[in-house]
Chain A
Amino acid sequence: MMKFALFLGCNIPARVQQYDMSARAVLDMLNVDLVDIREFNCCGYPMRNSDFEAFVLFSARNLALAERKGLDMVTLCKCCFGSLKKADHLMKEDTSLRDKINSLLAKEGLSYGGSIEVKHFLSVLHKDIGISALKEKITGGFKDLKIATHYGCHALRPSDITQFDNPTAPVLFDQLVEVTGAKSIDWPLKLECCGAPLLGINDDLSMDLTQKKMVDGKQSGADYLCVACPYCQLQFDTVQDMMISIRGTDHKLPSILFPQLLGLVMGIEGKALGIDMNQIDISGIEAFLS
């Protein structure tokens, strides 16, 4: 049985609880054991603009906590993933930085030795569990459902650090989406940013980018967007909803979290996947189940 420390980050427990619920439900059916470490803190992503060392300290503390339990980490958030991977890399490669950070961690009796691996939820599904094992658990399937798969920047890039998939022609997420019977469509802006990193800093720009993606997805024939990151989800769900009143644009391209999509074809109840917890109604997706 596979066992991971589950790293939720800050957004999911507060604002995207359906991601937590659905990911746990899916991983439970796949016999993946998740350990919650209550002492985990923010990954450090929001600190990167103002204090590089504080960012590494934040991430390294989480890495050290997981290492103390002897567990690899799985994250649901791509920004957490990117930050933890970056810090993990720095702690392994940059010895003077490592010493400095470990001396700060020593105040709490912690230190990071670089012995664990950080994985994203999608990589666990694709690489550790595998497409064929996934297929065995699938009881139903979608028919005629077109999904615009959104990869998320901080998992894909910088690829030398994240090592998630081919950064210019990734297939991992498309293959996972297609396991459900849905079609993962080609769309030009597939690998572009959702806009979330600038929300609250430059809302106009942030929403411009979100809007472009939604227009592109819609034009390319998508019924739903599919994401695996709370920032992307909040942007495509809460912010898309907000844009109706702020910009008067209604793209009617709801976003579904990947474990919700997968859970539905594994026969998990919509309620247990938090289908009704998204801001924009996605209950219509169940009509595509064959």
Chain B
Amino acid sequence: MFYDVSLYISLSIFGLGLIYKISTWFVRSIGINSNDINTSTRVLAAIKGVFGSILSAKIFTLIRVFIVDVLFQARILKEDYLRWVMHMFIFWGFMLLLLMHAMDSIITEPLFSEYASTLNPFMFLRDLFGLLVIIGIGIAICRRFILKVPRLNTNAMDHYAIIILAIIMLSGVFLEGLKITSFTKYQEMVEEYAGIDDEDELRALESLWVAKFDVVSPNVKGPFDEEILEQGKELHEMGCASCHSLPIWAFTGYAVAKITKPFALGLDRANIHNLFWYIHFLACFFGLAYLPFSKMFHIFASPVSLLVNSVADRGRSAPANIATIQVMELDACTHCGTCSLRCSVAVALNKIDNINILPSEKMVFLKAYASKKDLDDEGLKAIQEGIYLCTNCDRCTVVCPSGINLRDLWFSVREEFIREGPSVPLVLSPFSFYRGLNRQDLDPDYYKKPLDEAQRVIAEKCELMNKPDKVVPLTPINKEFKNRIDISSQSNTYSYCFSCENCTTVCPVVENYENPQDALGLLPHQIMRSVGLGLTDLSIGSNMLWNCLTCYQCQEHCPQGVKVTDIFYELKNLAINETHAA
């Protein structure tokens, strides 16, 4: 009764959870793609897209991907053999346990008329599948906590997934082991199936089960007479053998039985096997009910992501579908850390303390953000930096075992975060190159906004830039500022400058403008002199810095060996630090 009630409760939570989670794919939005597309449009587009793909030649791609990437998980194999073994063991072990063991009354019994859970090959296979899962969990624990795979972060959801799986598996093994030695269980079975009343016969059967089937009895103890065992064997073959193979075939439970044998009578009297029965099925039901809300939901979302992304792309698919796919992909992420391991810029984390630099952690952030959408200034700044500090090298997309199109997700989400809130200094770096290459996919009204904003914030804080008429006392020289221009040994070469203006003359940027000072502020030689005079605002406030190509013409042509371009780099570092620090 309790079993049935809890089963139906967990099944209904699971079912409703599934419906809820899938509905969020069509309701929630992330990035710039989805803002003005309503749910019904998205649902219709999805239906059209699914049928359009199934009823076209794309069906062959889908079948191939389903076999190669979903069932065989080739994308994990390509990345890491150990991880592939881990995941295949857990996936196949658990799936087969689910079908053959947990759902035996629906699947295994109708298929095999002679089925009994304690009969080979079913008993042996159950333990084999269980062992696969346990080995898989062992590898997972080893990877996350002992091997400490680089850049593999473990959060609460990862702990939960490992713990719930481990509880289910271990309680199952202990349950099986304690049932082998349990005298109470033995008696129940005899009463129900043996049909023996005679005291001697009962004793003979019991003796056989103690001798061969590892039951621990309070009444009989070995060694036994061959005769009694022979009699017991006859009785066994009449009443029990059709449902029971030797317990050694249930090798994981058998190991537990052997270990716990000395205390078996006490454990049996305390009804401990029953306790494990409750733990086992309640853990299963809890896992089932919580599945849609945990990272285990990837069992559904990752295959969807792999399949959908094998036939969709940003250029050709309906925008409504891209919006839906990008929300779905957040659920497909298993937090496996492959993207972070291969990320081209993850090394930045050794210097910059911002976990959002790692793609796997951006996904964690985006999952939470998509459901709530609230964010304080600190959080926004961190995600802005994390999401802009990316060279768009595509490695994360290429290696993602769930087939998530991270390239397009980043592109879309990056826009959402840099349009709003505090200015992002990193937009004034070559990290913007990819954005420039793809500007035709962006709203022209917003394209320049983050760039203008970042330059405005810097210029605004440089008072002298805004007051060209202000009289500046040149003595005493601002030593404090000059001391800060010492990031590298080359930076103090500015003091060799004698204002010959060669740098400015050869600069292709200066040459490009009719009135360069209007467009650029101070010109290269003027900036060198400002540094020499210790004028902070004039040194770091000019647009010239952000319009420098870094073509090194100035530096190459300086007769005094002033490292003009390199000093520009360092002034840009300073400008960002001075104006964008919290």
Contacts and interface: CB of A to CB of B under 8 A. Distances in A.
Contact of A50 (B392, B433, B563, B572): B572
Contacts of B432: 199-201
The binding surface of chain B is classed by DSSP as helix
A238 B437 contact: yes
The binding surface of chain A is classed by DSSP as helix
Given A14-B393, A42-B393, A245-B440, A158 B547 contact: no
6 contacts: A42-B393, A51-B573, A107-B350, A153-B553, A156-B552, A245-B440
A198 B512 CA distance: 13
Interface of B: 150, 342-348, 350-352, 391-395, 398, 407, 425-437, 439-440, 451, 487-489, 508-509, 512, 546-547, 549-553, 555-556, 563, 565-566, 569-570, 572-573, 576
Contact of A46 (B430, B551, B572): B430
A205 B555 contact: no
A42 B489 CA distance: 24
Nearest to A54: B351
Interface in A174-203: 192-193, 195-203
Nearest to B512: A208
Interface in A233-261: 234, 238-239, 242, 245-246
Contacts of A208: 512
B397 to A, nearest CB: 9
Nearest to A51: B573
A200 B549 CA distance: 12
A3 interface: no
Given A11-B391, A198-B549, 5 more contacts: A9-B393, A10-B391, A42-B391, A51-B351, A200-B431
Contacts of A45: 430
A90 interface: yes
Contact of A49 (B352, B395, B435, B572): B572
A165 interface: no
Contacts of A202: 451, 546-547
A197 B551 CA distance: 9
B431 A205 contact: no
A94 B489 contact: yes
Which range holds the interface residue count of chain A? 35 or more
Nearest to A53: B351
A47 B553 CA distance: 21
A90 B437 contact: no
Contacts of A228: none
A153 B347 contact: no
A61 B346 CA distance: 11
Nearest to A167: B556
A154 B565 CA distance: 12
Contacts of A94: 488-489
A179 B297 CA distance: 60
Contacts of B440: 242, 245-246
Nearest to A60: B347
B395 to A, nearest CB: 7
B573 A42 contact: no
B242 to A, nearest CB: 57
A58 interface: yes
A57 B150 CA distance: 17
A200 B436 contact: yes
A58 B556 CA distance: 25
Contacts of B425: 50
A206 interface: yes
B252 to A, nearest CB: 38
Interface string A93-119: 110010000001101100000000000
A157 interface: yes
4 cross-chain pairs, A with B, having the tightest CB-CB distances, nearest first: A200-B436, A200-B432, A157-B552, A10-B393
Contacts of A49: 428-430, 569, 572-573, 576
A52 interface: yes
A234 B398 CA distance: 21
B394 A153 contact: no
B300 to A, nearest CB: 30
Contacts of B428: 49, 201
Given A14-B393, A158-B565, A200-B432, A41 B352 contact: no
Contacts of A61: 347
A98 to B, nearest CB: 11
A9 B344 CA distance: 8
A28 B508 CA distance: 39
Contact of B436 (A58, A168, A199): A199
A209 interface: yes
Contacts of A158: 552, 555-556, 563, 565-566
B436 A203 contact: yes
Contact of A13 (B345, B393, B430, B431): B393
A48 interface: yes
Contacts of B426: 50
Which of B352, B391, B430 is the most central at the interface, judged by chain A CB atoms within 10 Å of its CB? B430
A46 B394 CA distance: 16
A9 B345 CA distance: 11
A245 B440 CA distance: 10
